[in-house]
Amino acid sequence: MTIQDQHNRVHNYLRISLTEKCNLRCTYCMPADGIPLLPSAKLMSADEVYEIAEQFVKMGVNKIRLTGGEPLVRKDFEAILRKLATLDAELAISSNGILIDKYIPLFKEVGLKKINLSLDSLKPEKFHHITRRDHFNKVMQNLQLLLSKGFEVKINVVLMRNFNEDEIIDFIAFTETHNVDVRLIEFMPFDGNNWNSDKLIPLKEITELAGKIYGDRLQKLVDDRHDTTKNFQVKGFKGRWGVISTVTSPFCSGCNRMRLTADGKMKNCLFDNNEMDLLTAVRNNQPFEHLIKLAVWKKHAVRGGMDTAEKFSDETLNQENRSMIAIGG
């Protein structure tokens, strides 16, 4: 069985947000005052997360990534992970890294190997500015710990002009001695994050800068058809780096992703403000396979229907969505 849209894309990758809560306050992710949190009764329980995920796996999903908010702040995280580990699907997690050292034994036990770590600056003062919290040293310690334990680590860096574009080369240089994938992410619009195109650092600018520094040592790698990242490596470096160019060079033709919010709403695209309520069906003991199929079938070809730069820059379109923390990264 497969989950397929009208553009012949097969969807086998589910991202599940476990919580809207986070122990950071990153400016591009949520408004400065935070967001109104849903009451716990409206959020999926551990059993409901499992029941919904199990249905997706029966329909062909073979990769599940846990996101948030910060998924590790959820008190029943261990119970959720242990349940999901019984499914026939690869498990991964996206985290800000603050609490991750506490869960390394659990990750090893259940076979979770792939971790995406959010880190937008290699400078403590900038880290504090963007996250509004002082956890830089802890995150860097946990990053080194993950690498020493053999985890496959990707570092997610949201680039913003006049903030951290001067660290592009620093992040690429980080891959010389660290076996990581650094992913430079174009700044994307969500409710409350004050997006505008002037803050955007496009794919072409990033690759041209890297080319000036590394010349013919810079190698373009072959991307998988489902990759969100245009991947590169500097010859002789341990790690790799790439650009997630959602704005200037979208990768929608190979999209295989679906998202489940913490309150059990299915989103077929990060940028589509339409949602399909799966949790109500679960709580009413109703089948919901058809709801999943319908949601995916309606998926737009490109970025929730924002198929031009003009549409993507239109605030009446790009801001009519949840904030990133309420969607799940």
How far is residue 171's CA from residue 87's CA, in Å, rounded to a whole number? 36
**Confidence grade of residue 317 (pLDDT, cut at 50, 70, 90):** low
The arithmetic mean of pLDDT across residues 47-65, rounded, is: 98
| pLDDT tens column, 217-260 | 999 999 988 888 999 999 999 999 999 988 787 778 889 999 99
Backbone torsions φ then ψ of 196, nearest 5 degrees: -150, 160
Tokens representing 311 are 């549409």
In this structure, the number of other CB atoms found within 10 A of the CB of residue 10 comes to 14
Handedness of CA 61, 63, 66, 68 (dihedral sign): negative
Q: Report the first-to-last Cα separation within the chain, whole angstroms.
A: 27
Q: Where are the domains of the chain?
A: 13-327
* Alpha helices (runs of H) in 197-246, residue ranges in sequence order: 203-214
The arithmetic mean of pLDDT across residues 321-328, rounded, is: 58
| pLDDT tens column, 247-301 | 787 778 889 999 999 999 999 988 788 899 999 999 999 999 999 999 999 999 8
| pLDDT tens column, 92-136 | 999 999 999 999 999 999 999 999 999 999 999 999 888 878 899
Please enumerate in sequence order all residues whose Cβ is within 8 A of that of 167, keeping only pairs 6 or more positions apart, or say none. 121, 122, 123, 126, 157
How far is residue 81's CA from residue 83's CA, in Å, rounded to a whole number? 5
How far is residue 46's CA from residue 134's CA, in Å, rounded to a whole number? 31
Q: Is the peptide bond before 69 cis (omega within 30 degrees of 0)?
A: yes
Question: 100 and 72 in contact (C-beta within 8 Å)?
Answer: yes
CATH number of 13-327: 3.20.20.70
